[in-house]
Amino acid sequence: MGKLKAILDLIRLDKQYGTLLLMMPTLWSLVLASGGIPAVKHIVIFVFGSFITRSAGCVVNDMADRNLDRFVERTRERPLASGRLNMREASLVLIVLLLIALMLVLMLNRLSLLLSFVALMLAGVYPLTKRYIQIPQLFLGAAFGWGAVMAWAAVRNEVALPAFLFFLATLFWATGYDTIYALIDREEDIKVGVKSTAILFGDYTYIALAILFLITITILLTVGVIAGMGRIYMFSIMLVTIGLLYQVVQIRRGVERAGLFRLFKSHVWIGVIVLIGIVSDILVR
C-alpha cells in the first residue's frame, strides 16, 4: 500500500487542478470545432487523455527535479525527493502512462497522431527548461495549449486559425497563472538555482501579468470575431477579464503563499467560464 500511495502522489491524483487547466483549452477547441456538440468518443479521449498527459508530465517533472525538490519546502515530500519511490519505479509508471496515451491517440486520425509527437516533445522538454532559461513558463503554456490544436485536428482533420489562436491564448494565459504559482517558491528557487518568470519579473510581476492576461483576452476576443460568436461568448470573456484584473490588483498589493495558491487554482474557473460561453453561445444560435 505504501508504494501505491507513493505512485498516486507521484501523479498528483489528489490535485487535479492541473488536469483541468490542461483540459480547458482542449475542450474550447473541441466544442467549437464540433459545432457545440462533440462526439462522445472525442470527449472521452480528450478528457481521459488530459488526465494521462498531465500525470505523465508530473512524473517527468519529478524525475528531472528529484535532487532539487528535497531543498524546497513545498516539494520535499514528493515520492522521488523523499525516497518513497526510486527512478526505476517512476520510469515504469511513466512507461505505462505513455502506453495508455498512445492507445488513446491511435483512436484518432492520422493528423492527430502526428501532432501528438509535438505534445510529447513539449511535455518532455518543459522540466529541463527551468535550469537553462528564464521563461520556462512559456514552455508549460505551449504544452498546455497544444491540446487545442490536436482536438481541432481530431474533428476537422485540419489545423485552422481558431485552433492556433486558442493555442496562443493558452500560451500567454498559462505563462501568467504559472508565474503566480512560481511566486510561491520564488525565494527557495533562487537559492537552488531554478529559473522562472517570477524571478525574472521580480517587483514588476504584476505588470507582466497584466500584459500576459491582456494578450490572452485579446486573442480570445479575436477567436470570437473569427468564429462569429455572439453576446454570450463576449459576456463570458468580460467576466474573465474582470477576474484576471482582480488577480493583477491582488498581486500588486501583495499576497501570502496560501493566497497565491488560491489565485492559481481559481484559473480553473477562468477556463470553465470560457467553455460555458462557447457552448452556450453555439447552442442558442
Q: Provide the pLDDT for residue 117.
A: 93
Cell of 263: 489565485
**Residue 25, number of CB atoms within 10 A of its CB:** 29
Q: Provide the pLDDT for residue 1.
A: 73
Three-class SS of residue 162? helix
In SS3 terms, 192-251 reads as: HCCCCHHHHHHHHHHHHHHHHHHHHHHHHHHHHHHCCCCHHHHHHHHHHHHHHHHHHHHH
Cα 271 from Cα 144, distance rounded (Å): 12
Each residue's pLDDT tens digit, 110-154: 999 999 999 989 988 888 888 788 899 999 999 999 999 999 999
pLDDT band at 70 (very low <50, low <70, confident <90, very high): confident
pLDDT band at 83 (very low <50, low <70, confident <90, very high): confident
| Residues 6 or more apart in contact with residue 236 via CB below 8 angstroms | 273, 274, 276, 277, 278, 280, 281
| CATH number, domain containing residue 222 | 1.10.357.140
pLDDT band at 69 (very low <50, low <70, confident <90, very high): confident
Helical packing angle, 87-105 and 110-132, nearest 10° = 150
pTM > 0.85: yes
CB-neighbour burial class of residue 243 (10 A; exposed 0-12, middle 13-18, buried 19+): middle
Element (H, E) at 285: none
- Long-range Cβ contact pairs of 71-74 (< 8 A, separation 24 or more): 71/188, 71/191, 71/192, 72/185, 72/188, 72/189, 72/192, 73/188, 74/184, 74/185, 74/188
DSSP label at 36? T
Domain count, the chain: 1
Please check the confidence at residue 66 and state whether its pLDDT lies above 90: no
Range(s) of the domain holding residue 11? 2-283
Q: What angle do CA 60, 169, 141 make, to 5 degrees?
A: 15
Cα 89 from Cα 3, distance rounded (Å): 9
pLDDT band at 78 (very low <50, low <70, confident <90, very high): confident
Element (H, E) at 15: none
Query: On the CB side of 268, how many CA atoms lie within 13 Å of its CA?
Result: 10
Please check the confidence at residue 73 and state whether its pLDDT lies above 80: no
As a whole-number percent, the residues of the chain with pLDDT over 70 amount to 100
pLDDT band at 74 (very low <50, low <70, confident <90, very high): confident
Please compute the mean of the pLDDT values over residues 163-175 and round it to a whole number. 98
